[in-house]
């Protein structure tokens, strides 16, 4: 319609800052979609200058390129190097995993292809030319695409609008090259007198490979890399990894040691200026994603400009489309990056488990898809782990003190807020009984409160009266009688400053409108604005509460629970002592971590003293508060170490819920790295929790040695028989997943449609 303004007509003049793959590909796409567009690219370097060597692209990205611009794809295709294997070399032993599928080409070659395509289309390429200041470009052009990399001057010029968050990490690395082609993607570990170093290498041409050498900052300094010339650095790297290189030298291309920086922006556009590629986001090179993300950004931006009716709508649609994809990639990259930062923790794993751990480090490669890619390798890892033939890792037994769990699945504690006067009723019998019949190795109660004043809500259960104890004995008896082999554990806790609130579905953490009871805590700090302010506990009150815990533990033992967990997480009373954000005491129970640990350890010791010796006792902690000034990952390790020293049989590693203004980094299995670190640094068994939703995740975490048990909450609300269904879906029928006799007829998925219709034999042409 005449007079209609579209994103396409508004983008008649386009300025692109940065001549890397993302900027060049965006220029080519925009010009190809509308030949009338005026597209100009500024690149301060010469056309044959490039940094880095090879570029790895996924089949998904290549498919998008092929669909959008077949000529670019065909030119790239002629130069691809493809391979399937990953080699992992550790302590002189090489393990190879196949079936992965990689495609790479030289970065210089990729740029040449994009230069040619841009010239053919009529893009104005201005090399050796600094782009005008972004504000000037924004005034002169309809659209300004900032593809100017991790050190983006455009992003900094509009920092108040884009609101970037830049995080530097613990390792130093350098990009180098070798004049031969590795026959696989190779990871090699070198244990030197200065510390652990690693090599990442892959081919990108018939006679060339990218080689990245990486190590922790302290190792880099101890090895003297901070005090030698670039040439000496390169020679040293070649000598350290001489076996991998076959004695060949390494080469540099203006390479320098650097630390990786993760870039996140709250906003990707400002007016008619938009960020693309590393200017908008970065993801660690260990998952090979930088160029991939930039190229995918260019595809999405061009499509949105074509599809949307205005520039504002187009830029909003671009960010809406790309942000979740980038966030997912950044989570995977962060997991991979941190795995390599903590590499030293895994060196003593059995060789194949170490290799499996490395392959699954980002959580994108899992046990199940690795089994599809390379069943022989995966089966070898399972045998080394101790899986009987045909037994998935999650269905191997695990022993804690005198208790042997028949599998590694835990029904996580979940508050049901359905008790009357703290007494569990028929709801709890059915709820916990159903999950026990569902096959989990261990079923945990909700947090059971040690006093009426220690409840979170009026609907919370307790163990502070004999009547409550008898009611729990009924639940435990049902589990033991009707689901033999399933263990049931009790979690004891006190609400602290998070008590006297409404039922969850009436207003989570909101104070009761009436009928409140007084709160106590480590310090007189309300949980959030509008919450009741607790009283700071006196020495005498600390003694009383410790005795409440021991009395509840005694009742739990009489009820027949198989395991007891002490709740020291999520901002409840004992957690409130551990976190510096909630413990401001100046006496012997506040200040240093040692003092903040004092009361939780006193309670633990008192409970352990009355809890039967043969029955295990665990502790749940929040390994981070997800808030500035809160518990650090290092302190979480120290907390776990202290409880282990006092006799904890396992640590249940959760995070957060300590302060109301937390900023958790949600994502699949997002809390497991904290459990992983505690397991390897402390040497104590751990229970991993936090958005573990699939049996594939459980198998992956267990087999990689990142956790000993996996606790799942919401999946068990969705499906009480989650564990048995996981066994059926994997074709497993063994002692780790026993169907109750009345349910055995349902141990195979029911048919959902007719399957006996005759198949066509002939297809006749028209």
Give tens-digit pLDDT for 429-475: 999 999 999 999 999 999 999 999 999 999 999 999 999 999 999 99
What number of residues does the chain have?
766
Q: Whole-angstrom Cα distance, residue 26 to residue 422?
A: 63
Q: Whole-angstrom Cα distance, residue 214 to residue 241?
A: 12
Q: So what's the pLDDT on residue 6?
A: 52
In this prediction, residue 540 has a pLDDT band, given cuts at 50, 70 and 90, of very high
Helix 633-645 crosses helix 672-682 at what angle (to 10 degrees)? 50
Q: Does the pLDDT of residue 601 top 90, yes or no?
A: yes
Q: Does the pLDDT of residue 725 top 60, yes or no?
A: yes
Q: Does the pLDDT of residue 764 top 60, yes or no?
A: no
Beta strands of 610-752 (E only): which ranges?
617-622, 650-654, 686-688, 709-712
Q: What pTM was estimated for this model as a whole? A: 0.90
Active-site residue identified among 173, 572, 589, 670? 572
Least confident among 55-69, 102-116, 578-592, 623-637: 55-69
Q: What is the mean pLDDT of residues 137-144?
A: 96
| Maximum mean pLDDT: which of 176-180, 660-664, 755-759 | 176-180
Mapping DSSP onto H, E and C, the string for 494-562 reads CCHHHCCECCHHHHCCCECCCCCCCCEECCCCCCCCCCCCCEECCHHHHHHHHHHHHHHHHHHHHHCCC
Q: Please, are residues 212 and 256 in contact by the beta-carbon 8 Å criterion? A: no
Q: What is the mean pLDDT of residues 408-416?
A: 96
Q: Please, are residues 490 and 558 in contact by the beta-carbon 8 Å criterion? A: no
In this prediction, residue 753 has a pLDDT band, given cuts at 50, 70 and 90, of low
Q: Count how many Cα atoms sit within 13 Å of the Cα of residue 476 in the half-sphere of its side chain.
A: 22
In this prediction, residue 757 has a pLDDT band, given cuts at 50, 70 and 90, of low
Q: How far is CA 144 from the centre of its chain?
A: 34
Q: So what's the pLDDT on residue 766?
A: 41
First to last CA, the chain: 43
In this prediction, residue 750 has a pLDDT band, given cuts at 50, 70 and 90, of confident
The predicted-structure confidence for 646-688, as pLDDT tens digits, reads as follows: 999 999 999 999 999 989 888 788 899 999 999 999 999 999 9
E strand or H helix at 17:
strand 13-17
Helix 70-77 crosses helix 107-121 at what angle (to 10 degrees)? 150
Q: What is the mean pLDDT of residues 101-122?
A: 93
Q: Does the pLDDT of residue 599 top 90, yes or no?
A: yes
Q: Please, are residues 669 and 697 in contact by the beta-carbon 8 Å criterion? A: yes
Q: Does the pLDDT of residue 735 top 90, yes or no?
A: yes
Between CA 112 and CA 120, with CA 115 as vertex, the angle to 5 degrees is: 125
Q: What is the CA radius of gyration of the chain?
A: 29
CATH number of 397-732: 3.20.20.70
Which residue is listed with tokens 């665990």? 618
Q: Whole-angstrom Cα distance, residue 157 to residue 144?
A: 13
CA distance to 102, 381, 391, 439, per residue, from 733 (Å): 36, 21, 9, 12
Q: What is the mean pLDDT of residues 57-82?
A: 84
Q: Does the pLDDT of residue 552 top 90, yes or no?
A: yes
Q: So what's the pLDDT on residue 760?
A: 56
Q: So what's the pLDDT on residue 651?
A: 98
Q: Please, are residues 640 and 684 in contact by the beta-carbon 8 Å criterion? A: yes
Identify the CA nearest to 503 among candidates 462, 570, 469, 455.
455
Q: Which CATH architecture has domain 13-342?
A: 3-Layer(bba) Sandwich (3.50)
In this prediction, residue 121 has a pLDDT band, given cuts at 50, 70 and 90, of very high
Q: Whole-angstrom Cα distance, residue 546 to residue 460?
A: 20
User: Residue 85: which residues within 8 A CB-CB, separation 6 or more?
Assistant: 96, 97, 98, 100, 183, 184, 185
Main-chain dihedrals φ then ψ at residue 451, nearest 5 degrees? -160, 160
User: Residue 671: which residues within 8 A CB-CB, separation 6 or more?
Assistant: 623, 653, 654, 655, 688, 689, 690, 691
Q: How far is CA 568 from the centre of its chain?
A: 23
Biggest CA-to-CA distance, the chain: 93
Q: Whole-angstrom Cα distance, residue 249 to residue 252?
A: 10
Query: For residue 753, with 0-12 CB atoms within 10 Å meaning exposed, 13-18 middle and 19 or more buried, which class applies?
Result: exposed
Identify the CA nearest to 657 among candidates 606, 600, 718, 581.
581
| Mean pLDDT, the chain, integer | 93
Q: Is 73 a catalytic residue?
A: no
Q: What is the mean pLDDT of residues 555-584?
A: 97
User: Residue 258: which residues within 8 A CB-CB, separation 6 or more?
Assistant: 172, 173, 174
Q: So what's the pLDDT on residue 761?
A: 42
Identify the CA nearest to 525 among candidates 599, 581, 595, 454.
581
In this prediction, residue 618 has a pLDDT band, given cuts at 50, 70 and 90, of very high
The predicted-structure confidence for 341-369, as pLDDT tens digits, reads as follows: 999 999 999 999 999 999 999 988 999 99
Main-chain dihedrals φ then ψ at residue 260, nearest 5 degrees? -70, 140
Residue 165 structure tokens: 């968050």
E strand or H helix at 566:
strand 563-568
Q: Whole-angstrom Cα distance, residue 357 to residue 585?
A: 42
Q: Please, are residues 608 and 646 in contact by the beta-carbon 8 Å criterion? A: yes
Q: So what's the pLDDT on residue 4?
A: 42
Q: Where are the alpha helices (DSSP H) in 11-69?
A: 21-33, 59-68
Assign 286 to helix, strand or coil.
helix
Between CA 691 and CA 695, with CA 693 as vertex, the angle to 5 degrees is: 140
User: Residue 590: which residues within 8 A CB-CB, separation 6 or more?
Assistant: 522, 523, 577, 583, 584, 596
Q: Does the pLDDT of residue 734 top 80, yes or no?
A: yes
The predicted-structure confidence for 267-316, as pLDDT tens digits, reads as follows: 999 999 999 999 999 999 998 778 889 999 999 999 999 999 999 999 99
In this prediction, residue 752 has a pLDDT band, given cuts at 50, 70 and 90, of low
In this prediction, residue 5 has a pLDDT band, given cuts at 50, 70 and 90, of very low
In this prediction, residue 11 has a pLDDT band, given cuts at 50, 70 and 90, of low
Q: So what's the pLDDT on residue 755?
A: 55
Listed as own residue / partner, the contacts of 318-323 with beta carbons closer than 8 Å and 24 or more positions apart are 318/268, 318/269, 318/274, 319/267, 319/268, 319/269, 322/268, 322/296, 322/297, 323/268
Q: Whole-angstrom Cα distance, residue 267 to residue 262?
A: 15
- β-pairing, 208-216 with 195-205? antiparallel
Tell me the domain boundaries of the chain: 13-342, 397-732
Least confident among 48-57, 103-112, 243-252, 346-355: 48-57
């Amino acid at each position: 319609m005449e007079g209609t303004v579209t994103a396409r007509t508004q983008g008649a003049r386009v300025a692109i800052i940065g001549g890397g793959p993302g900027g060049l590909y965006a220029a080519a796409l925009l010009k190809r979609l509308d030949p009338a567009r005026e597209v100009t690219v500024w690149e301060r370097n010469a056309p044959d200058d490039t940094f880095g060597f090879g570029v790895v692209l996924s089949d998904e990205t290549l498919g998008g390129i092929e669909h959008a611009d077949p000529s670019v794809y065909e030119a790239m295709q002629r130069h691809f190097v493809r391979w399937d294997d990953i080699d992992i070399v550790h302590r002189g032993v090489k393990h190879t995993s196949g079936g992965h599928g990689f495609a790479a080409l030289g970065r210089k070659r990729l740029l040449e292809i994009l230069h040619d395509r841009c010239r053919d289309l009529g893009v104005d390429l201005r090399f050796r030319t600094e782009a005008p200041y972004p504000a000037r470009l924004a005034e002169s052009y309809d659209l300004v695409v900032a593809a100017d990399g991790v050190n983006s001057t455009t992003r900094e010029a509009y920092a108040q609008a884009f609101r970037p968050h830049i995080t530097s990490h613990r390792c130093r690395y350098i990009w180098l090259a070798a004049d031969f082609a590795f026959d696989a993607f190779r990871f090699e570990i070198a244990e030197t007198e200065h510390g652990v170093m690693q090599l990442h290498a892959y081919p990108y041409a018939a006679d060339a490979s990218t080689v990245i050498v990486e190590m922790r900052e302290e190792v880099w300094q101890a090895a003297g890399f901070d005090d030698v010339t670039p040439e000496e650095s390169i020679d040293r790297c070649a000598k350290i990894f001489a076996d991998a290189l076959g004695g060949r030298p390494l080469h540099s291309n203006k390479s320098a040691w650097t630390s990786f920086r993760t870039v996140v922006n709250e906003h990707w556009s400002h007016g008619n200026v938009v960020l693309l590629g590393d200017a908008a986001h970065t993801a660690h090179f260990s998952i090979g994603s930088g160029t991939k993300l930039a190229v995918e950004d260019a595809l999405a931006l061009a499509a949105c400009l074509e599809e949307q009716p205005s520039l504002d709508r187009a830029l909003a649609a671009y960010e809406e489309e790309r942000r979740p994809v980038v966030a997912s990639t950044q989570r995977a990259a962060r997991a991979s990056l941190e795995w390599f930062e903590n590499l030293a923790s895994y060196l003593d794993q059995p060789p194949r488990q170490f290799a499996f751990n490395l392959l699954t480090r980002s959580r994108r490669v899992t046990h199940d898809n690795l089994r599809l890619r390379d069943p022989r390798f995966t089966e070898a890892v399972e045998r080394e782990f101790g899986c009987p033939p045909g037994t998935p890792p999650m269905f191997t037994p695990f022993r804690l003190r005198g208790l042997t769990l028949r599998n590694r699945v835990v029904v996580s504690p979940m508050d049901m807020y359905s008790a009357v006067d703290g007494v569990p009723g028929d709801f709890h019998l059915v709820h916990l009984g159903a999950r026990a019949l569902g096959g989990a190795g261990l079923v945990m109660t909700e947090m059971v409160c040690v006093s009426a004043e220690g409840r979170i809500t009026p609907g919370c259960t307790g163990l502070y009266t004999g009547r409550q104890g008898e009611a729990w004995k009924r639940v435990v008896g049902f589990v033991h009688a009707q689901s033999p082999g399933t263990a049931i554990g009790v979690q004891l806790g006190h609400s602290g400053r998070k008590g006297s609130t409404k039922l969850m579905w009436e207003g989570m953490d909101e104070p009761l409108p009436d009928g409140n009871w007084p709160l106590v805590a480590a310090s007189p700090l309300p949980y959030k604005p509008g919450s009741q302010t607790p009283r700071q506990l006196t020495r005498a009150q600390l003694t009383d509460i410790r005795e409440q815990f021991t009395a509840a533990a005694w009742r739990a033992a009489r009820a027949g629970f198989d395991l007891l967990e002490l709740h020291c997480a999520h901002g409840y009373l004992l957690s409130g002592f551990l976190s510096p954000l909630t413990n401001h005491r100046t006496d012997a129970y506040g200040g240093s971590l040692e003092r903040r640990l004092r009361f939780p350890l006193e309670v633990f010791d008192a409970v352990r003293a009355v809890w039967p010796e043969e029955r295990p006792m665990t502790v749940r902690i929040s390994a981070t508060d997800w808030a500035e000034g809160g518990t650090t990952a290092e302190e979480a390790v120290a907390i776990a170490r202290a409880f282990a020293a006092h006799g904890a049989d396992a640590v249940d590693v959760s995070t957060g819920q300590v302060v109301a203004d937390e900023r958790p980094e949600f994502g699949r299995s997002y809390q497991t790295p904290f459990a992983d670190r505690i397991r390897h640094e402390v040497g104590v068994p751990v229970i991993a929790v936090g958005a573990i939703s699939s049996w594939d995740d459980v198998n992956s975490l267990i087999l990689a040695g990142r956790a000993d048990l996996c606790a799942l909450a919401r999946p068990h609300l969705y499906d009480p028989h989650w564990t048995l269904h996981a066994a059926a879906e994997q074709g497993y029928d063994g002692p780790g997943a026993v169907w109750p006799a009345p349910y055995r007829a349902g141990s195979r998925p029911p048919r959902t449609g007719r399957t006996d219709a005759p198949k066509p034999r002939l297809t006749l042409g028209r």
